[in-house]
Amino acid sequence: MDKSKMTEMFFGPNHPGVPGNYGINYFYEGDTVVSAEPNPGHLHRGFEKLMEEREWIKNTPLVCRICVMEPDINEMVYAMGFEAIGKIDIPKRATYIRSIILELARIQAHIFSIGGNCGAIGLYTAMQWGVLTRDYILDLFEEITGGRVYHIYIRPGGVRHDIEDVTLQKILDLLNDLENNRMPEFQKLIFENPIAQKRWKNTAILNQEDALSLGVTGPALRATGLVHDVRKLIPYAAYEQVDFKVPSGQDGDAWTRLKLKKDEIFQSINIIRQLINNIPDGPVSLNLGNALKYKIPNGEAYVKIESSRGEYGYYIVSDGGLKPYRVHVRGTSTPLGLYGVESLLPGCRIEDVPIWAHSLGICPPEFDR
Amino acid sequence: MRSENELIKLLNRDLNLLSFKKLRKQNISIRFENEELVSGLNYLKSQNYIHLATISCVDWIEDNQFELIYQLFSYEDKISLSVKTRINRKTSKFVTIKNLWGVAKYYERDIHDFFGIKFTGNDNMDELILENWNEIPPMRKDFKTRQYVDKKYDWRQYHGQE
């Protein structure tokens, strides 16, 4: 490598094209990235250490803050880990409500992500529309849980309180609106837009071999032709009771990943409708005693669920005390945001770096947890 | 596709396991001696355990040991395997597995940051998340957050506060 011909670029941590407080330092020659290195750590808040010093229940309002886009996902994995170690079976209605919340969360994350991807190529109208459409779902979350972004709703033993039938009807109305009005607009504005197609097709390609060796999951892996989805591989919540197909693509480029996200929105709508139609009656949480004195026997579990971008895992160790002994968070984009930058980014053109980062779903708070 | 019992039988036949435990549905943990770990992981990789989700580390301060946990998954068997080994806390040294999974390079750097474990063979052990850190690694159990904050920062006095 002749470094005299290259220029070093500090892409982030303050750059509109970078998804969050995170930097990529790369050398480029002409228009092409030659070598790159991730620069994380700007957002480290010491969650894992903090969790060891708080009682089990007090971590529920904490974990949702690990990733802004996936608050419910974090609450769910944490609660699942607690229940797996304590061998607790939660009521059936609670599993249905959890699945409804998780699918709503997936839709809002996908819509926001599609908007973000449009922002990365300068299609700002679609970005604003994405934010707006997501807001309708946040309104629903506010009605169900009391919070817009962070919900603190899924907790060990079930969910915080029940969803009323009126709200379930509102969810169905919103889904109808999304399917019949919003998504066709997105289709016209984004997916039938020749300029957007040109920018996304054959850009930021991730092949199957690299994806598997890096441990990439979610839409990025499914865009390479596989149909792996944690909801099918290790079913959790109420996913065993619903009938759905996991969409997949072939080309592994940014365009395929975005189309998959769009398809998954329709799939999530389908799942929520099935769940709401079959939701059983009954209690929504277990009485585990004094919330500040929750205790589970010593043990460990690696639990994972499918977030909007792939596998989200927690490794939880309990020593039988009032607090977790150790919680390790495996964020979805950790392999891509760290090693992926070094191994996959070289060869990418400068103007495609934001597309690379956004379409692969890099979320810095996950590896700065 | 193998069931959990078939998998445990196979591993007991081919590998030198110290112990194994069913954690929950589709989640098994197995433990190796230090020297056996890399060959064990190599074998598991050949048995379709190709997905390395992450490497976790736990500080068992009372046993004077660190525990490293390699979280594997097989898309064929649909089983999560937590592969564990314990290393001495004082020497805190282990070997890298970056030749098996390149991505392990960064997981190891992360563990080096927060637990101070050196991975021989991984030549880049620079700080990844932390910056200019001179204290004991922060995720160790003997690092006390409150003491560190008291030492490092001045508490601010507010109006009406004694």
ipTM of the complex: 0.90
Q: Percent helix, strand, coil in chain A (nearest 5)? A: 50, 15, 35
What are the distances in angstroms from CA A145 to CA A62, A76, A174, A284, B134? 16, 14, 17, 14, 43
Alpha-carbon dihedral sign for residues A211, B17, B55, A218: positive
Angstrom CA distances, A265 to A137, A250, A296, stand at 13, 19, 37
Are A330 and B139 inside 8 Å of each other by CB? Answer: no
Residue B10: its pLDDT value, please? Answer: 81
pLDDT at A100: 92
Residues of B in contact with A214 (CB under 8 A): 102-103
For residue B162, the model assigns a pLDDT of: 60
Residue A278: which H helix or E strand, with range? helix A254-278
Q: Which residues of B touch A40 (CB under 8 A)?
A: 128-129
| CB proximity A337 to B under 8 Å | no
A264 and B CB contact within 8 Å: no
d(CA A92, CA A284): 8
Q: Are A300 and A82 in contact (CB under 8 A)?
A: no
Question: Residue B84 above 80 pLDDT?
Answer: yes
How far is Cα A153 from Cα A160, in angstroms, rounded to an integer?
5
B134's CB contacts (< 8 A; 6+ apart) are: none
The verdict on a CB contact (< 8 Å) between B23 and A53 is no
By residue count, chain B amounts to: 162
User: Facing residues of A26 across strands?
Assistant: A9, A36
> With contacts defined as CB-CB under 8 Å, which chain B residues touch A84?
23-24, 27
Q: From the CA of B35, how many Å to the nearest CA of chain A? A: 24
Per-residue pLDDT tens for A38-80? Answer: 888 888 888 999 999 899 999 999 998 888 888 999 999 999 9
Instruction: Determine contact, residues A34/A22, Cβ cutoff 8 Å.
Output: no
**Architecture, CATH, for domain B4-152:** 2-Layer Sandwich (3.30)
Q: Which residue ranges form the domains of chain A, and what is each CATH number?
A: 1-42+333-369 (no CATH), 71-291 (1.10.645.10)
Q: Dihedral through CA A317, CA A322, CA A323, CA A325, nearest 10?
A: -30
Is the minimum CB–CB distance between A317 and chain B shorter than 8 Å?
A: yes
**Whether A364 contacts chain B with CB within 8 A:** no
Q: Do B102 and A214 touch (CB under 8 A)?
A: yes
Angle at which helix A92-120 crosses helix A254-278, to 10 degrees, equals 150
User: Are the beta carbons of B27 and A302 separated by less than 8 Å?
Assistant: yes
Q: What is the mean pLDDT of each successive set of 10 residues along chain A, which is 369 residues long? A: 81 80 88 89 88 90 87 92 90 92 92 89 88 91 90 89 90 92 90 89 88 89 89 88 89 90 92 92 87 87 90 91 91 89 88 88 85
Q: Which residues of A touch B103 (CB under 8 A)?
A: 213-215, 335, 338-340
Would you state the structure tokens that stand for residue A155, as one six-digit string? 């907790």
Q: In chain A, what percentage of residues exceed pLDDT 70? A: 100
The whole-model pTM stands at 0.91
Of B53, B105, B130, the CB nearest to A330: B53
Are B103 and A338 inside 8 Å of each other by CB? yes
